[in-house]
Chains A and B, each alone.
Chain A
């Protein structure tokens, strides 16, 4: 794909034209390239990221934003966008400023990994996928191993009428392995998924021991019992703790929900909600995190924002409008899923910071309960203050020991009750950031990292 900076002249001309009609306009241009390989029992499917580019243009209309977008970055295509935006504006020029501070950041950032994906190439990706499949399928009862390897290099260029000009190229690399076990008509699977911003080193987790461990787990799930049902002590593995952070405090602190009076958290900002061992942050600047961005789509730097500090609820995530409405500063969390999507307040990498317990100490503290492992999904409830987390498997905890394997589960509960019941958080040695995708409601899907160490609390669980 073209370097988006090749279009800067046309973009500047478009903004100069719009500047005559409004006090503020901005543009986010996007393009991407990438490669993926999907391999299973029957097929090998390499693929390329679509040759996809376009731009979203936004103008302040005095009381609301008007936006248009196009996949045609030619002068003629951008003219059509300008025409439609001018048609949507009032006849008189808008001289009022939009709410919140406008970025004036001018900078460039490119992912510069120690091992670029070019070192691997398509043939290298195919070989790695074949190796992983081979390791997984050596385990008895494994019917299939599905391997997905992918990288994308996404360019974004943000320019506004007050001086911001942010160009970034973000390289994301991800690997996923699913082992499918079948016996007597029963089908089960387990999976492994890691990735982040960087290069080939993000795939270092794809080793023979890890692949075989997942295969063994899938096979064992065929004979696993159903999980216990009801309210009990729950130990979340690091991936599940990350989904907890995302669904409970991530969505709940997206400050557009505050402005809508749709967050159960808004009235309790500043209060102590959990133990001192609990700190939750969103961090767009986390090195190598899956959700890491250098700049957001309003030209603010990706940055670390503390949401819960030692148990006290202290912060929220802001774009320019919510910052203006709530007397705060933008936090670098304005994100468009793509150039056609609206900018919203969104998370980047949201995680529970490590505490000082060991996993073994948490198990002893739990005494009896269930360990939830391998998060598959979650969903928020910003107004009602509930959360739902789902996991692929778990183990019973009996007398402080990990015992029988159990099948997939859903955890449900009130976030504030869950926080109050937290009894410990494990240390840095367990900490991970996992790759995932997040929607705003049911759409606008974008990459978001979630993470944490082990976390011990109480909740309702049931089969799912």
Chain B
């Protein structure tokens, strides 16, 4: 038996026990988490299994010309626990309104969804040994490094059995793995007496690959060493190069909000066909990219995931919808009903959250800008941002900005001395005719990289505002 074919998973059992009128849905998870926390190379804490089994019930009730939705979640799956959850949800639905004309739940026969590109079977079979093997390979390159050590870190693997059921007959389940890797590298030593430098890696992936765990350690070590001698960047409107790992902290939250039914309800979504980005820039939302952290066969409402065009050659195209927002605009849901979207507690326990509308993985195709060196050459005189403190983009105004944790000056088309401190900021999207980050993209690199919820090439933006020395 594979992990995604467990008999009678929790959502299906809860559905059997529900005695309330349709429409309703159940989303359930059985989560097993394992964690290894280390200080240097010493294991501080070994954690697991951390087992949480829970479910959420959402039901929909007419409320005047609107629809009322009631949601409640619980870790109590006894008959009395389920009855209490349904009672809570009914009470909430009676006081709730959302301007949907109708909600059409997805239907489908009992089926096993395809977990093949979101489930690390080796990790599933032996989580702790696999994590230990990965960490061994991750830390091995430090033996060859001078004056750079692993400072601390952790590997947290979550093994999840997700199941869904609804009153339209949908019964499905799939299994997936998610791993977060945190590693801080510290650089020190030398005669110059500079304080230690740090580079902090935070990564989220679907599978562990011990054979390639240490591939980027030399780069990270260089960033940590360069942080020791970095100076503040200059101040001004400058060409700025942003690799995918920085763009991943900026684009998904702003574009996922503005290109969605959420913004359309507020009448601030871009008009289809309007110019929102530089010509040549195309952006998709794609919930099917193999091994992407947000990929899954279904979204958290049971709608099959897919690929949508948000921006086509610089012009606004489609919007994203979950069930409720699709119901508000008589549209079709796009597979973007996701749980646990908001920053806060229990964000990895999706069952504890009612669905919201958000992006899966934004996919920006490669351009013709060439290699990193060629992008720097086009930039001429500017900065390369390798890591921002926290871009904290704001979906409503589109503004973003953060401190440069490590970057490089670009002089005469070549990467020069490291920079650190100061801020880089701007506006991702602006009304037509007003400069924005997307409208100022001057070149796209020729190679894409998957980072969290973005697959993108490196972008050259001319200009962004840099505040430094």
Contacts and interface: CB of A to CB of B under 8 A. Distances in A.
A390 B182 CA distance: 24
Interface stretch (A47-55, A111-119, A277-285, A298-306): A47-55
Interface string B49-92: 11111101000000000100101111110000100110010001
A408 B397 contact: yes
Interface string B185-203: 0100000000111101010
B52 A340 contact: yes
Contact of B423 (A180, A264, A462): A462
Interface string A404-437: 0001111111100000000000000000000001
Interface string A218-246: 00000000100111000000000000000
Interface string B147-176: 000011000100000000000000000000
Interface stretch (A63-71, A159-167, A206-214, A352-360): A63-71
Contact of B425 (A48, A188, A340, A464): A464
B186 A262 contact: yes
Given A384-B227, A463-B401, A67 B46 contact: yes
Contacts of B468: 230, 460
Nearest to B153: A441
Interface string B351-363: 0101000000000
Nearest to A343: B45
Contacts of B156: 443
Nearest to A64: B43
Contacts of A408: 394, 397, 399, 401
B421 interface: yes
A110 interface: no
Interface string B99-116: 100000000000000000
A410 B424 CA distance: 9
A379 B84 contact: no
Contacts of B50: 56, 67-70, 340
B98 A462 contact: no
B99 A187 contact: no
A51 B44 CA distance: 32
Interface stretch (B134-142, B261-269, B293-301): B261-269
Nearest to A88: B46
B392 interface: yes
A125 to B, nearest CB: 10
B122 interface: no
B95 A71 contact: no
A459 B469 CA distance: 10
A185 B425 contact: no
Contact of A445 (B76, B232, B345, B398): B345
Contact of B96 (A46, A50, A381, A410): A46
A46 B95 contact: yes
Given A41-B265, A46-B92, A407-B399, A71 B51 contact: yes
A327 interface: no
A193 interface: no
Nearest to A382: B198
B397 A189 contact: yes
Contacts of B354: 47
A144 B265 CA distance: 10
Nearest to A67: B47
Nearest to B400: A464
B338 to A, nearest CB: 16
Given A68-B47, A68-B50, A262-B198, A188 B98 contact: no
B345 A68 contact: no
A65 B45 contact: yes
B403 interface: yes
A411 B402 CA distance: 8
Interface in B321-377: 328, 343-347, 349, 352, 354
B181 to A, nearest CB: 11
A226 B237 CA distance: 13
B52 A54 contact: yes
Nearest to B128: A88
Contacts of B396: 180, 187-189
Nearest to A184: B431
A185 B432 contact: yes
A197 interface: no
A43 interface: yes
B33 interface: yes
Contacts of A67: 45-48, 50
A342 B35 contact: yes
B466 A44 contact: no
Contacts of B74: 50-52
A186 B202 CA distance: 34
Interface in B383-428: 389-390, 392, 394, 396-405, 420-426
B423 A412 contact: yes
Contacts of B44: 64-65
A443 B180 contact: yes
B195 A410 contact: no
6 contacts: A65-B46, A68-B49, A143-B266, A264-B195, A390-B402, A463-B467
Q: Which 8 pairs of residues, A with B, have the shortest CB-CB distance?
A: A464-B401, A462-B467, A185-B431, A50-B73, A388-B403, A51-B74, A464-B425, A462-B423
Given A51-B84, A410-B401, 9 more contacts: A68-B47, A69-B50, A71-B53, A84-B49, A229-B235, A261-B196, A378-B390, A410-B425, A413-B421
Interface of B: 33, 35, 37, 39-40, 43-54, 56, 66, 69, 71-76, 81, 84-85, 88, 92, 95-99, 151-152, 156, 180, 182, 184, 186, 195-198, 200, 202, 227, 232, 235, 265-268, 328, 343-347, 349, 352, 354, 389-390, 392, 394, 396-405, 420-426, 430-432, 434, 465-469
Interface of A: 41-48, 50-54, 56, 61, 64-72, 80, 84, 88, 122, 126, 143-144, 180, 182, 184-189, 226, 229-231, 259-262, 264, 337-338, 340, 342, 376-379, 381, 383-388, 390, 407-414, 437, 441-443, 445-446, 460-464
